[in-house]
Amino acid sequence: MAVSLPFVRIVEIAEPVSVVGSGPDVVTGIASLAEAEAGDLSFLGNAKYKGEVLSSKAGIILLPADYEGNPASGQVFLRVKNPSYTLALICGEIEASLWPRPAAGVHPSAVISPSAVLGQGVHVGPLCVIEDGAVIGDDAVLESRTFIGRQARVGQGCRLKPGVVVSDYCVIGDRVRIQSGAVIGSDGFGYETVQGEHRRVPQVGSVVLEDDVEIGANTTIDRARFSVTRVGKGSKIDNLVQIAHNVSIGRHCIVVGQVGIAGSCVLEDYVVLGGQVGLAGHLRIGRGARIGAQAGVLADVEPGAILLDAPAIPFGLAKKLMVLKMRLPDLFKKVDSLEKQVEALSGNQAPR
């Protein structure tokens, strides 16, 4: 996709500690250090790739403030406090130009209840449905095929991508972004076994997403059996995540793709769950805990803990066990050799 961002604007956004060299007046692309061409912007966000800086063809490179070295001819080094975050700021401006905010207004194909309330500057795209009593905050954007249920609330400045479902009575805070296919407020998975049959338990609660939450594509967040399922302010949920009924996620948590969180779990603030982590029901994950990819958590987790493996165990112990696992083939060979030696010695022994 076409990128065109003047160098002077990049310098304004980056607020560099230093500018060394002379490069392109306009950036036409963004690429990794190894793949960049003369008109591209690149960055060093991980020390692992430091060796690629001097061989990179990028016209402009964002570097840590303490980076030592000089650019090639026709190249600029911008030393900044945080190259990765600086790149994010630059990409934010590019994003706004590539996907500008749609103009306020309601598409003729949208179906909106007479009792729904739309704030100022709202955009409602093609084939959207807004049910009875729903309230849409100022400057919200509902892209095509978005569904907003009865008495639901969508806050100011939210952006809901195509195909999002916000079910009845759910509450979405301000500046929330929800990607395509996400379902907010699907029924919780609740059943009671009665006389050998699984009988459905009605799910009469709701979902609350607090301000600045982001929800990934095809993620599902179940409404509570009673009360609310909650995602706290600033938390970020990746694609293909399942959050069950009555879960409470704290502020500024990170939940990576394909995580499954069973009912009534509590995640305190700043928890990080790696990809494919599974949490059993009714657990409490302490503030700042980090759980590595594919871990299976069966018990409460202390604040600040770092866990790996399934069932999940402390990080240090998990690393030791990984090393031991790698040594198992050699261990089996040694045991086999010792068994043969014992058999040989046993066969040579004279009977008593």
The residues carrying an active-site annotation are 245
One-letter amino acid of 346: S
Quote the CA–CA distance of 237 and 261 in Å, as a whole number: 12
Q: What whole-number distance in Å separates Cα of residue 80 and Cα of residue 17?
A: 5
DSSP 8-class letter at 79: E
Task: Please tell me the number of Cα atoms within 13 Å of 95 on its side-chain side.
Answer: 6
Distances (CA, A) of 278 to 106, 183, 287, 293, 337: 41, 20, 18, 9, 41
Three-class SS state of 346? helix
Residues near 130 by beta carbon (within 8 Å), at least 6 away in sequence: 110, 111, 112, 113, 116, 118, 124, 136, 142, 148
Give the span between the Cα atoms of 322 and 348, in whole angstroms: 40
Q: Are the CB atoms for 63 and 78 separated by under 8 Å? A: yes
Cis, bond preceding 329 (omega within 30 deg of 0): no
Q: Are 293 and 276 in contact (CB under 8 A)?
A: yes
CA 82 to chain centre: 20
| HSE, side-chain direction, 13 A CA sphere, residue 218 | 5
